[in-house]
Structure 1
């Protein structure tokens, strides 16, 4: 009986030890399973973080590319602005130069206009005086002709000295008349020449004004 009881106790102890080991094995399995779950969770989190990192890197690369493109656009806009500023400065200088030239032309035209008015007044006065002088000469010639005819028909025809003086006076008056005629013709030619010069100057000013208006209408060339 004692042997049987000892054997049963031994069997019971062995059963308890086996159960204890099974319990430890189950606990170890659960621990391993928990560790595996934790490792899987960490691995999934790591993969999510890796995907997020890649996404952030792509987004950062895209933002960097956009920043470079924006920088290039800014530089191009700045270059266009500088070009437009230079064009505007050049156009402003051309406008100022055109205004100065126009003012010079206005002063020149005004001076020529006054000169022309003075010349026309002087020419009319000279022409009137010349006509009066020519008329006086004609009257004097007529008087001399009448006196000569009277001398030729009178008994005093023998006075050669008076006749010669009358002839000399007639020749002198005729020469003065011709000289006055030449002066009058020269004055008329000079007036016509001056009118032509004024007309050319006025036409040149009109052409310059048309050209400047065409340039102002077309405007400066601006790069897109």
Structure 2
């Protein structure tokens, strides 16, 4: 077995040369890690902003649905009141005039049209809500996939 003996000066020089060789690789890896961390932070900020945006939209949509349902219920009550008034007028046809009956019937038709319009709006809102829930699920699945890809990339 052959052994090489180096004096301490050449040993220090060898260590310095090794450091110079490894430094660019280390710096390159460190830069890559920093870029990946910045990318992760940017994605997290983006997804958090989207989550907040979706949450606010969902709250607004739910509030709108509640308001529409309240309005529909109010319209139903008014229609029922008009129906009962109309029936009362019909039973007292000898005492009432045709113009009042016609006006009540017109008002009933207007209220029925408003009710139908509100029902269409509520149905549309349900469809929008379902679409938004699907979009939110897709965003969350994409975020989960991105995190796993980033984790796999970081581990290699």
Q: TM-score range by the shorter chain?
A: 0.7 to 0.9
> Equivalent of 1:215, from 144, 153, 156?
153
Match of 2:11 in 1: none
Aligned to 1:202: 140
1:93 CA drift (Å): 4.3
User: What is the CA deviation profile of residues 75-126 of structure 1, one whole-angstrom value per residue up to 9, with x for unaligned ones?
Assistant: xx98xx47x945861x444433332332222222222222222223222322
Equivalent in the alignment of 2:41: 103
CA distance in 2, matches of 1:208, 1:87: 26
1:178 aligned partner: 116
User: Do the aligned partners of residues 95 and 204 (structure 1) sit closer, same or farther apart at CA in structure 2, a change above 3 Å counting?
Assistant: farther
Normalized per residue, the structure richer in helix is: 1
1:139 deviates by: 0.6
Larger radius of gyration: 1
Q: Distance in 2 between matches of 1:102 and 1:156?
A: 81
Q: Determine the structure 1 residue equivalent to 2:126.
A: 188
Q: Provide TM-score, normalisation by structure 1.
A: 0.53
In structure 1, the residue matched to 2:100 is 162
| Equivalent residue, structure 1, for 2:7 | none
Q: Which runs of 5+ in 1 are unaligned?
A: 1-73, 219-224
TM-score (norm. length: structure 2): 0.73
CA RMSD across the alignment: 2.6
| Equivalent residue, structure 2, for 1:125 | 63
Give the whole-Å Cα distance in 2 for the aligned partners of 1:162 and 1:175: 20
CA distance in 2, matches of 1:139, 1:178: 14
Structure 2 vs 1, CA of residues 183 and 92 (structure 1 numbering), >3 Å: closer, same or farther? farther
C-alpha separation between the residues in 2 aligned to 1:88 and 1:203?
A: 34
Q: Residues 174 and 197 (structure 1 numbering): CA distance in 2 closer, same or farther, change over 3 Å? A: same
What is the number of residues matched between the two proteins?
139
2:4 is aligned to none
Shift, 1:145, TM fit: 0.8
Gaps of 5+ in 2: 1-13
